[in-house]
Amino acid sequence: MDAVDPSTPSIDDDLCTGCGDCVAVCPAESLALREERAIIIHPEDCWYCGDCEEMCPVGAISRSFEITFADGT
């Protein structure tokens, strides 16, 4: 079993419908569709922007933690 990498979003295969919205929105081109499911093909390029998480209509992709700034900006 693969270890979960907390530095990239996780994708729930059971929820993902393969719509491709996250692939289209990812500015780093980290995502792709394979067998009608989203996968992360370039985890090293992901900068954790969260666009994929916001775009997914079924909540299948999520970041395991949020980055917040201590000064509130």
6 vs 50 by CB, closer to ligand SF4? 50
SS3 68: coil
Q: Of 7-26, which residues contact ligand SF4 (CB under 6 A)? A: 9, 11, 16-22, 25-26
CA 5 to chain CA mean position, Å: 12
For residue 32 the two structure tokens come to 């792709």
Binding residue for ligand SF4, selected from 28, 32, 39, 62, defined by CB under 6 A = 28
Contact code string over 30-59 relative to ligand SF4, x by CB under 6 A: xx------x-------xxxxxxx--xx-x-
> Which neighbouring-strand residues pair with 32?
39
Query: By the 8 A CB rule, do 8 and 46 touch?
Result: yes
Query: By the 8 A CB rule, do 42 and 7 touch?
Result: no
Residues that bind ligand SF4 (CB under 6 A): 9, 11, 16-22, 25-28, 30-31, 38, 46-52, 55-56, 58, 60-61
